[in-house]
Amino acid sequence: MTQILTLIMNISLIVGIFIPGIVFGGYNVEHTSEENVEEGKKLTFNLMVVETILAIVCYVPNIIFQVNNPPTPPSDSGKVQR
């Protein structure tokens, strides 16, 4: 199960790199009118909402399936009960 969660987290990082390019794809940075500034604020807010939703979707399974101890001890001293 740990491998699946690691895969999910790695894929979410890759997808997170592409999302800003998709959201801001048609945005014209060189035009600085009031409308363009408001559009930029709106696009930035939409980007934050999308990334928040994706982060929650990727983080919740990690919280649910988190284990306290690894399946095998990392060393001989890890087998000792304290």
Tokens coding 49: 């909402």
Domain boundaries, the chain: 2-65
Give the pLDDT band of residue 12 (cuts 50, 70, 90): confident
Residue of 51, 4, 1, 5 whose CA lies nearest to 24: 51
Query: Could you tell me how many residues make up the chain?
Result: 82
pLDDT of 28 above 80: no
Give the pLDDT mean for 26-54.
82
The backbone region for 75, taken as left when phi is positive above 0, alpha when psi lies in -120 to 50, beta otherwise, is beta
| Residues 50/19, Cβ–Cβ less than 8 Å | yes
Which phi and psi angles does 76 have, rounded to 5°? -60, -35
pLDDT tens digits for range 53-70: 888 887 888 888 887 777
pLDDT at 29 > cutoff 80? no
Greater confidence (63 vs 25) lies with: 63
